[in-house]
């Protein structure tokens, strides 16, 4: 029968003392600790076995592709495979940096990402504040539940829905515009309107779910603070400004850090399902470019290079965001 | 304490309620519009207008869905993929979570690091695509399931819950001679139902909505999933085939459905399960992030 549980002798044995007279680690202690560790490894070996399946999956589907990234530095030939293909001296990167499209990709990616941030970051906060002011609890919960709904739908579905909604032939929105005497708007075909549509649909989808964490922080505010504000004669607006908002600063800061880290991602899912060649000039971002050129056009090596470039930029963003956060606020991810 | 609400305050309340109600309508109306379009009958006037209700109703579009074998196959594949992916995924993540939840396990830090690294770094989808191809998994069912099985985020969330379980329960089982696997399955997991339910829901919805891997890891019609069907529909890849099948349906059953009716119906059946189950399961989702974020 396998011995399970700490060997009885170990429990009663005195722990060897760590320090010798000179302050160095007693070699006898080290040996004893290593023996203890080794016996634990043997004892808990089944746990390592259990981890083997997840480990194999991780190694295969997460770590091997990490190594496979080297295809970005090679001239890939399907016959030779990734390992057999020749190194190409950063050619893909030199090519990427020299095409005019590179600048356009950067501008598009950051423009969309910043627009979404400027409108999409405050929106859930404002929504949480306003939602909090609702007095009827059942109505409030109903609004909340309804507001989360778009979060659970994929952009495939939402893209299809919005293509119908924004359509110039059958869309109810253009119908309403016409009824009010206006001209039909090509929401998804005109570059400026496209940006508008991207931001609006993004806010629509994320405002409900995004407000959860802010609402949670609001509900954890000590009611005594509000009573004190009442005593000082504050009206509702002042209470929000001087009690609610300051109490939300920690949560807002953390969410800010988390969001800023992703500023180089403009949202592939959404863009891919809303864009079309007419708006490539504003809508083509890194990820859509990588998809089209790298996968559809089968330039796997070049696509991987562009993707790698974007990921490196993302890591830089994370590092910068965290360093700034640590220096200028009390909150950071590590 | 009596709350004295001045006129301005009450006016704000009123406006607030109106705005919130308007917001709810903007969320609900697109789906109502879709339902209407999917149920349009022959006599329906197709003009540019704001639809509140149909003048002529018909379930032909849904009848068509039973007729189009590709739609049926997409539905079957999606359900299969979701069920297998969720059950296997949660189990595999629990295996990993259990191992790294043991504080006294030597090398635990290394194993956890192996997990966490995958949260931040990734090879990208092109190397993964090339890997799938070279493994011979391209265009197989397993390409839709295996890559996403181990999700480090889920592992961490489950791990945190496991770590909060009283060790005495495990110790007594160990003394009684149980294996770790037995303990995990018979004791730990039943005790962890809240977190497992949440992770199961998250995973299931995620897989149901997953479209990109379904797009790049398989092709053709064998392993098409619903999201991919919709994508092809909207990308107008289907035009000729779709028109042919719709025409055949119309001839055979004497109906007159059109493409947009079919599109609307497909979208409805795709989001149907989520929307229907959503009111009942919603609090698990919400509770889940709170538990996950607080404990992590």
Asked if the C-beta of A68 comes within 8 angstroms of chain B's C-beta atoms, the answer is yes
Q: Which residue of B has its CA nearest to A136?
A: B17
For A51, the closest of B6, B31, B95 (CB atoms) is B95
Q: Cα–Cα distance between B287 and A121 in angstroms, integer?
A: 22
pTM, rounded to two decimals = 0.87
Distance from C-alpha of B129 to C-alpha of A300, rounded to nearest angstrom: 9
Banded pLDDT at A111 (limits 50, 70, 90): very high
Residue B151, pLDDT > 90, answer yes
User: Rounded to the nearest 5°, which phi and psi values hold at A250?
Assistant: -60, -50
| Closest in A1, A60, A135 to B177, CB measured | A1
CB A304 within 8 A of CB A72: yes
Whether B275 and chain A come into contact, CB under 8 Å, resolves to: yes
Rounded CA separation A146/B129 (Å) = 37
Cα–Cα dist B185/B170, whole Å: 12
Over 60: is that where the pLDDT of A5 sits? no
d(CA A127, CA A107): 30
Quote the pLDDT of residue A15.
Answer: 52
In three-state secondary structure terms, A25 is strand
Distance in angstroms (rounded) separating the CA atoms of residues A226 and A228:
5
Nearest to B30 among A37, A146, A165 (CB): A165
Interface test with B, best of A7, A35, A51, A140 (most B CBs within 10 A): A51
Contact (CB<8Å) A169/B120: no
Q: Is there a contact between A60 and B131 if contact means CB atoms under 8 Å apart?
A: yes
Is the CB of residue A309 less than 8 Å from the CB of residue A289?
no
A19-78 tens-digit pLDDT: 555 567 788 888 888 888 888 888 888 899 999 999 999 999 999 999 999 999 988 888
Locus of tokens 């941030």: A117
**Chain A partners within 8 Å of B290 (Cβ):** 212, 216
Cβ–Cβ of A47/B293 closer than 8 Å?
no
Smallest Cβ–Cβ distance between B49 and the set A175, A235, A315 belongs to A175
For B137-148, write each residue's pLDDT tens digit.
999 999 999 999
What integer is the mean pLDDT of A330-334? 59
Mean pLDDT of B109-126: 90
Helices (H), A99-219: 100-120, 122-132, 137-148, 155-165, 172-179, 191-219
**pLDDT, average across residues B278-287:** 75
Q: Is some CB atom of chain A closer than 8 A to the CB atom of B296?
A: no
In the predicted model, is pLDDT for residue A80 greater than 50? yes
**C-alpha–C-alpha distance, residues A54 and A33, integer Å:** 29
- Calculate mean pLDDT across residues A4-10: 52
Question: In three state form, how does the secondary structure of chain B look?
Answer: CCCCCCHHHHHHHHHHHHHHHHHHHHHHHHHHHHHHHHCECCCCCCCCCCCCCCCCECCHHHHHHHHCHHHHHHHHHHHHHHHHHHHHHHHHHHHHHHHHCCCCCCCHHHHHHHHHHHHHCCCCHHHHHHHHHHCCCCCCHHHHHHHHCCCHHHHHHHHHHHHCCCHHHHHHHHHCCCCHHHHHHHHHHHHCHHHHHHHHHHHHHHHHHCCHHHHHCCCCCCCCCHHHHHHHHHCCCCHHHHHHHHHHHHHHHCCCCCHHHHHHHHHHHHHHHHHHHHHHHHHHHHHHHHHHHHHC
For residue A43, the model assigns a pLDDT of: 84
pLDDT given at position B50: 79
| A322 contacts on B by Cβ (under 8 Å) | none
**A304 CA: distance to closest CA in chain B (Å):** 6
Q: Is the pLDDT of residue B295 over 50?
A: no
Q: Determine contact: B116 vs chain A, CB below 8 A.
A: no
Average pLDDT of the residues in A155-165: 92
Query: Percent of chain A scored above 90 by pLDDT?
Result: 46
C-alpha torsion angle, residues B167, B172, B175, B176 (rounded to 10): -140
Instruction: For B196-213, write each residue's pLDDT tens digit.
Output: 998 999 899 999 999 999
- Identify from A5, A83, A152 which residue to disrupt to test chain B contact, counting B C-beta atoms within 10 A and taking the largest count: A152
Structure tokens at A122: 């405050």
Q: Which of A28-37, A76-85, A166-175, A243-252 tops mean pLDDT? A: A243-252
Q: Does B111 touch chain A (CB under 8 A)?
A: yes
Q: Work out the pLDDT band at A12, boundaries 50, 70, 90.
A: very low
């Amino acid at each position: 029968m396998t011995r399970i549980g700490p060997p009885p002798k170990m429990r009663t044995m005195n722990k060897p003392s760590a320090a010798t007279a000179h302050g160095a680690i007693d070699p006898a202690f080290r040996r004893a600790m290593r023996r203890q560790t080794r016996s634990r490894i043997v004892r808990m070996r089944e746990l390592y076995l259990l981890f083997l399946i997840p480990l194999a999956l991780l190694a295969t589907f997460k770590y091997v592709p990490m190594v496979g990234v080297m295809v970005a530095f090679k001239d890939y030939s399907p016959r030779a495979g990734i390992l057999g293909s020749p190194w190409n001296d950063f050619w893909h990167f030199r090519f990427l940096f020299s095409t005019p499209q590179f600048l356009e990709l950067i501008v598009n990616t950051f423009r969309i990402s910043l627009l979404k941030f400027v409108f999409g970051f405050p929106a859930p906060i404002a929504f949480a504040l306003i939602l909090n002011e609702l007095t009827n609890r059942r109505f409030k919960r109903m609004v909340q539940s309804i507001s989360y709904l778009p979060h659970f739908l994929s952009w495939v579905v939402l893209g299809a829905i919005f293509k119908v909604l924004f359509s110039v032939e059958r869309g109810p929105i253009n119908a309403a515009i016409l009824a009010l005497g206006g001209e039909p708007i090509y929401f998804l075909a005109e570059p400026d309107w496209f940006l508008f549509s991207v931001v609006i649909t993004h806010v629509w989808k994320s405002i409900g779910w995004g407000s959860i964490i802010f609402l949670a922080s609001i509900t954890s505010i000590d009611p005594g603070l509000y009573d004190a504000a009442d005593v000082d004669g504050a009206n509702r607006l002042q209470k929000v400004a001087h009690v609610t908002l300051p109490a939300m600063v920690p949560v807002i800061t953390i969410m800010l850090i988390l969001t800023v880290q992703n500023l180089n991602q403009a949202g592939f899912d959404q863009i891919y399902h809303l864009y079309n060649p007419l708006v490539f000039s504003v809508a083509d971002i890194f990820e859509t470019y990588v998809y089209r050129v790298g996968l559809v056009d089968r330039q796997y090596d070049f696509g991987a290079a562009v993707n790698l470039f974007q990921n490196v930029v993302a890591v830089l963003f994370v590092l910068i965001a965290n360093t700034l956060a640590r220096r200028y606020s009390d909150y950071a991810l590590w | 304490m009596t709350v004295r609400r001045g006129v301005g305050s009450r006016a704000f309340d009123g406006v607030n309620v109106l705005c919130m109600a308007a917001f709810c309508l903007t969320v609900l109306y697109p789906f109502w519009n879709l339902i209407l379009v999917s149920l349009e009958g022959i006599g329906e006037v197709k003009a540019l207008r704001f639809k509140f209700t149909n003048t002529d109703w018909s379930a032909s579009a849904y009848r068509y869905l039973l007729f189009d074998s590709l739609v049926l196959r997409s539905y079957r594949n999606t359900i299969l993929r979701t069920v297998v992916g969720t059950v296997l995924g949660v189990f595999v993540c629990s295996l990993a979570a259990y191992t790294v939840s043991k504080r006294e396990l030597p090398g635990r830090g290394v194993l956890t690091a192996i997990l966490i690294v995958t949260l931040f770094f990734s090879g990208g989808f092109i190397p993964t695509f090339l890997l799938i191809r070279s493994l011979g998994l391209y265009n197989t069912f397993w390409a839709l399931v295996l890559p996403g099985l181990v999700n480090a985020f889920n592992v961490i969330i489950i791990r945190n819950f496991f770590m909060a379980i009283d060790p005495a329960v495990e110790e007594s089982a160990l003394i009684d001679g149980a294996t770790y696997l037995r303990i995990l399955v018979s004791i730990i997991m039943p005790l962890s139902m809240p977190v497992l339910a949440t992770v199961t829901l998250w995973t299931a919805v995620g897989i149901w909505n997953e479209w990109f891997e379904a797009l790049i890891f398989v092709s053709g019609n064998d392993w098409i999933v619903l999201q991919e069907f919709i994508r092809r529909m909207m990308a107008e890849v289907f035009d000729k085939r779709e028109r042919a099948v719709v025409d055949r349906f119309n001839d055979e059953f004497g109906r007159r459905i059109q493409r947009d009716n079919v599109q609307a119906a497909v979208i409805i059946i795709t989001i149907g399960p989520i929307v229907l189950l959503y009111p009942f399961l919603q609090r698990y989702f919400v509770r889940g992030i709170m538990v996950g974020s607080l404990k992590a």
